[in-house]
Amino acid sequence: MKADSKGVLGGTHKLSGNYACAEGALAAGCRFLGLYPIIPALEISERFLKRAPEVGATFIQMEDEVSALAAVLGASWTGKRSMTVTSGPGLSLMMEHLGLGVMLETPCVIVDVQRVGPSLGLPDRAAQGDVMQARWGSHGDYEVIALSPSSPQEMFDYTIKAFNLSERYRVPVLVLADEYVAHLEEEVVIPSAEEIEIEPRRYYDGPKDKYLPFKRDEDFVPKMVKIGDGFKFHVTGLTHDDRGYPIMNEECQEYNVHPLLRKIRNFVDQIVEFTETNIDDADVILVSYGASSRAALKAMEQARNAGIKVGSLKLTTVWPFPEKRVAELAKRVKAFVVPEMNFGQIALEVERCTHGDANVLFIPHGEKGIEDTEDLLAALKQAAGMTAVEEKIIEFKK
């Protein structure tokens, strides 16, 4: 279906990444934002709060991040497209309810504007340290989807994409932004409402007394109804049957939980998204995401000008990780070079997926590394000269 024109601020605008995220959420039909304010994500709520009266949206500041995500889950069950925004310390507090959202199969979006950690760290500095927490931070077996924008335009586009994926697979979807992109100002092109595709929520339309909230379709995704519309059902974080009633045995655990993984894993080729540049003749491939992609693409061009055959694999979806594609590329390149604003997270995934067929060089960099490609160029030269595969991740050092 098409976007609601009330939420779409069509045209070309100079926006920060945070403002673009708020506009993307409104264009996607988000009408509930629940949060606890935190740096460097504040401007998303500021923009949303200003625009909320124009579109009939609700904004609520909760007492902490735990309750913020709980409110978002509840709002989603009333039929609202809902979102929360946070940063590292807040994301840590949301992990319990991320798991609840997965178990209740509740579509919603969590925007994490990453900052330097651990703990309170450096609130106003960019980082990419929450990548593994986004995937593995809650307990038990589950799958999530996470997107990583590298510009204000992608903050707008990926926020819409996140809402669509959350509705398609009935799962919380994360937007893993970072402080650099959040506060970067660039032109953002917002299409008209007629040009924006919105994934409709799959509603049950049968008799009310026959509704089963967790009865799955062939693609493992159950249909929803709106709480308050007269349906009788039960939701719980406990292992449950199609009615939502707790069943405490191993058979129900398999029946209930395994499909939470299958509905993502079985459709991973439809979910995973990345952009390849100069891959065909590459000896070395840069694997990047988020703000680090800005430096990676710049370094790729500089390296090619210097005669080094470098390609780029820029991740749109960080989770699920494009493991099949990395494994294919590993068979024909010398090395992957992975720049990250952390001390090595996606580099671990790249190394896992190469199966020993190619070297993996990791470049830890801070915010300065987004503008300065000196380290990247030196690492690319080192990678291009390698003649044997080492059985470890090679951390680049000056």
Task: Please write the tens of the pLDDT for every residue from 36-49.
Answer: 999 999 999 999 99
> 369 falls in which pLDDT band (50, 70, 90)?
confident
Residue 370 has what pLDDT? 83
The mean pLDDT of 281-293, rounded to a whole number, is 97
CA 293 → CA 197, 277, 299, 316, 349, distances in Å? 26, 12, 10, 10, 17
Residue 69 has what pLDDT? 98
Strand partners, 126: 115
Q: What is the pLDDT of residues 195-241, one digit of tens each?
A: 999 999 999 999 999 999 999 998 999 999 999 899 987 899 999 99
Q: Rounded to the nearest 10 degrees, what angle do helices 17-27 and 152-169 cross at?
A: 40
Residue 233 has what pLDDT? 77
Q: State how far the Cα of 56 lies from the Cα of 328, in Å rounded to an integer.
A: 48
The mean pLDDT of 233-253, rounded to a whole number, is 93
Q: State how far the Cα of 164 lies from the Cα of 171, in Å rounded to an integer.
A: 10
- Whether residue 372 has pLDDT greater than 90: no
As a whole number, the mean pLDDT across the chain is 96
Q: What is the pLDDT of residues 83-127, one digit of tens each?
A: 999 999 999 999 999 999 999 999 999 999 999 999 999 999 999
Of the ranges 183-197, 353-367, 374-388, which is most confident?
183-197
> Considering the entire predicted model, what is its pTM?
0.96
Q: What is the DSSP secondary structure assignment for residue 56, as one 8-state letter?
A: T
The mean pLDDT of 328-335, rounded to a whole number, is 97
Task: Give the contacts of 350 (CB within 8 A, at least 6 positions apart).
Answer: 287, 326, 336, 338, 360
Nearest to 300 by CA among 282, 323, 318: 282
Residue 398 has what pLDDT? 72
Residue 174 has what pLDDT? 98
The mean pLDDT of 298-304, rounded to a whole number, is 96
φ/ψ of 158, rounded to 5, equals: -70, -25
Residue 366 has what pLDDT? 82
Nearest to 49 by CA among 65, 67, 63, 37: 37
Q: What is the pLDDT of residues 15-32, one digit of tens each?
A: 999 999 999 999 999 999
Q: What is the pLDDT of residues 347-356, one digit of tens each?
A: 999 999 999 9
Residue 391 has what pLDDT? 87
The mean pLDDT of 134-154, rounded to a whole number, is 97
The answer to whether the CB of 363 falls within 8 A of the CB of 312 is no
∠ CA 54-60-66 to the nearest 5 degrees?
Answer: 145
Q: State how far the Cα of 5 lies from the Cα of 163, in Å rounded to an integer.
A: 17
Residue 30 has what pLDDT? 98
Q: What is the pLDDT of residues 156-207, one digit of tens each?
A: 999 999 999 999 999 999 999 999 999 999 999 999 999 999 999 999 999 9
Q: State how far the Cα of 126 lies from the Cα of 121, in Å rounded to an integer.
A: 11
Can you give 201-261 as a three-state secondary structure string?
CCECCCCHHHCCCCCECCCCCECECCCCCCCCCCCCCCCECCCCCECCCHHHHHHHHHHHH
Residue 189 has what pLDDT? 98
Nearest to 273 by CA among 325, 328, 316, 323: 316
Residue 84 has what pLDDT? 98
Q: State how far the Cα of 13 lies from the Cα of 324, in Å rounded to an integer.
A: 38
Nearest to 284 by CA among 378, 395, 397: 378
Q: What is the pLDDT of residues 308-326, one digit of tens each?
A: 999 999 999 999 999 999 9
Residue that has been written with the tokens 């509930």 in this structure: 32
How much of the chain, in percent, has pLDDT values that exceed 70? 100
